[in-house]
Amino acid sequence: MSCNSTSGCGVVTDLRADSTAPLPVGLRVGLSAVMVVVITIGFLGNAVVCLIVYQKPAMRSAINLLLATLAFSDIMLSLFCMPVTAVTVVSGDWCFGPEFCRVTAMLYWLFVLEGVAILLIISVDRFLIIVQRQDKLTPGRARLLISASWLLSFCLALPSTAGRRVPGAVRPGPGCVLGFVESLPERGYTVLLATAAFFVPVAIMLFAYLRILNAVRRNAVRVRNHACPAGKVGLPAPRRPPQPSVDVSFKTRAFTTILILFLGFSACWLPHTALALLAAFSRPFYLSTQFYPAAVGALWFSYLKAAFNPVVYCWRIRKFREACEEFVPGRCRLRLPGRGRLRLPGRGRRRVRPCSIYVCTETQSAM
C-alpha cells in the first residue's frame, strides 16, 4: 500500500508512466469544491469540540476527553494531509518532493490510526458500561489510554517512511499513489496497516455493538414487564413506592451516537482498504486506466469521516449545538422551532454514573 498523494498515504512504490491521465477539468473543479467543503467542516467542526472540552472544566469527563482526541486527530488530518491531496488532484502531479511524500504518508497513517484507536476505546467503554455494568474509565485512565494510543499509532506509522521508492525514482508519474508492491516485507506491512486500521477494529467494535444491542433489548423488555407484570392484568397492583418513569430512548441515545460514528467510519474506510489491498497485490489493476480515478474517489471517501463526525455531533448532541451557537454571532444564529434553550438549575453540575443509566432491576429502573 503505497504512499498516497493521490490517496494520501501508504508506502511509496512503483510509478506508472501512462497512468495517470489527469481527470477532466470539470471533474477536477467540482472535486476541488467538495474538498474545500470537507476541509472546512472537518477543521471548524472538530475545533469546536476541542474548544468545548478545553474551555469548560465540567466537560472534561473521560468520554469527552476521548471525543476531543478524536476531533484533534481529524483536525490534523484536515491541516496536513487533505490540502496536499487536494493540490495533487487538481494539478494532476506530485510537486512537493520525495521527502515530503514520505512525511505525508507517515502523518496520514498516524492520524488515521489514532482516530481508529479512540473509536475502539470508546466502543469497549460502552460495552463495559452497558453489558458488564462496569464504569471503570476515569479521566486519568482516559489520559493514559490516549497517550498509549498515540505511541502505538506512531510505531505503526513510522515504517511507512523507510525503504520506499519515491516519485521520479523510476519514471515520471503523478506522484505518490497506492501502488503495486513486490517485496514480501512491503506486502506484509500493507496487510498490517489494513488489519490495524480497519479489520481488527471493525471486528471488535461490531462484536461489542451486537452485545450492547442485545443488552439494551433485554433491558427494554424487562422495563415493559415491570410496568405490567404477566398474569396481573386487571388486578389491583400492590402499593409500592413511586418508581421513576423509564425513557428507553434516552437511555440508548448516547450509545446510538457512538454506533452512528462506528457505522460512518466503516462505510468511509471500506472502499479505501479494499482498493489498497487490490492495488498492492494486483499489478494489472494498478496499471489499468481505472486505478487513478478509483484511488482519488476512495481516498476522499475516507476523508469524509473527518467531516462526518461533527455533523453527527450537531445532529445528536444538544450541548454541542449550544456550544456552536456561542461561537456564532447573534444575528447569524438559526433559531429552530421547538429548540428553546431551557436550562434547569444545576443541570451542568449533574453527574450520573453511566452504567446506572442502563440498569433495570426487579424493583427499580435507575436513571
Q: Classify 165 as helix, strand or coil.
A: coil
Residue 236 lies in a domain: no
Residue 266 lies in a domain: yes
**What is the CB-side half-sphere exposure of residue 341 using CA atoms within 13 A?**
10
Q: What percent of the chain has pLDDT over 70?
A: 69
Which of 138 and 1 is assigned the larger pLDDT? 138
**CATH value at residue 75:** 1.20.1070.10
pLDDT score, position 251: 44
pLDDT score, position 192: 92
pLDDT band for 219, please (50, 70, 90 cuts).
confident
Spatial separation of the C-alpha atoms in residues 357 and 363, rounded to whole Å:
15
Residue 185 lies in a domain: yes
For the segment 260-271, the average pLDDT, to the nearest whole number, is 91
* C-alpha dihedral sign at 104, 106, 112, 114: negative
Asked if pLDDT for residue 242 goes beyond 80, the answer is no
Asked if pLDDT for residue 2 goes beyond 50, the answer is no
Residues pairing with 365 in the sheet: 360
Residue 299 lies in a domain: yes
pLDDT score, position 292: 81
CA distances from 345 to 101, 286, 352 (A): 54, 62, 16
User: Which grid coordinates belong to 84?
Assistant: 496536499
User: Which grid coordinates belong to 358?
Assistant: 442502563
Give the pLDDT confidence of 318-344 residue by residue, as tens digits.
877 877 777 665 555 555 444 444 343
Mean pLDDT across the chain, nearest whole number? 75
For the segment 249-262, the average pLDDT, to the nearest whole number, is 72
User: Which grid coordinates belong to 159?
Assistant: 515504517
Residue 320 lies in a domain: yes
Residue 365 lies in a domain: no
Q: Which residues contact 109 (CB under 8 A, 6 or more apart)?
A: 9, 10, 153, 156, 157, 160, 193, 197
pLDDT score, position 365: 33
Give the pLDDT confidence of 17-38 residue by residue, as tens digits.
444 456 777 787 788 788 889 9
pLDDT score, position 223: 63
Cα dihedral 74, 77, 79, 85, rounded to 10, equals: -140
pLDDT score, position 74: 94
Domain that holds residue 98: 25-230+243-329+352-357
Least confident of 65-79, 186-200, 326-340: 326-340
Q: Are 9 and 113 in contact (CB under 8 A)?
A: no
Spatial separation of the C-alpha atoms in residues 130 and 152, rounded to whole Å:
27
Residue 342 lies in a domain: no
Most confident of 8-17, 32-41, 134-143, 148-157: 148-157
pLDDT score, position 331: 53
Q: Are 216 and 358 in contact (CB under 8 A)?
A: yes
Residue 366 lies in a domain: no
pLDDT score, position 174: 40
Nearest CA among 175, 203, 173, 209 for reference residue 4: 175
pLDDT score, position 119: 94
CA Rg value for the chain: 24
**Number of domains comprising the chain:** 1
Nearest CA among 2, 9, 1, 3 for reference residue 303: 9
pLDDT score, position 229: 53
